[in-house]
Amino acid sequence: MPAQGLGLSALWDERDYKACGASIECRGRFILGKLFDRDTPLLKTAWLAAFGTRVLGPPEIRTDEITKTQWQVILSHMGASADEITDVQARMGRA
């Protein structure tokens, strides 16, 4: 039975995501914003796991600089399925 995941596929039809177009930075901020809204404490824990002592959000790091491995750490900590992780990485140009 496949993992339940976070239901991220519903995000790609949202107007704000579509407005990002090809902007990787905008897409990353949108995704992180949704994860922040979903569970802020868990995202902060995931961020620490991915980046160590870095603070969540600007100006510390641009979302277009998040590596494939860092996205995997963040998303897996948040409960994303393997398919969702692959999808987000592709949307962030990290396939």
Asked whether residue 50 is assigned to any structural domain, the reply reads: yes
pLDDT > 70? residue 11: yes
- Per the structure, the count of domains in the chain is 1
Asked whether residue 14 is assigned to any structural domain, the reply reads: no
Q: Are 89 and 74 in contact (CB under 8 A)?
A: no
Closest CA to 20 of 64, 71, 55, 73: 64
Asked whether residue 4 is assigned to any structural domain, the reply reads: no
76-88 pLDDT, tens per residue? 999 999 999 999 9
Asked whether residue 81 is assigned to any structural domain, the reply reads: yes
pTM of the model: 0.88
In angstroms, rounded to a whole number, what is the distance separating the alpha carbons of residues 11 and 7? 8
Domain span at 59: 24-91
CA geometry: angle at 65 spanning 75 and 26, to 5°? 75
Asked whether residue 10 is assigned to any structural domain, the reply reads: no
14-30 pLDDT, tens per residue? 999 999 999 999 999 99
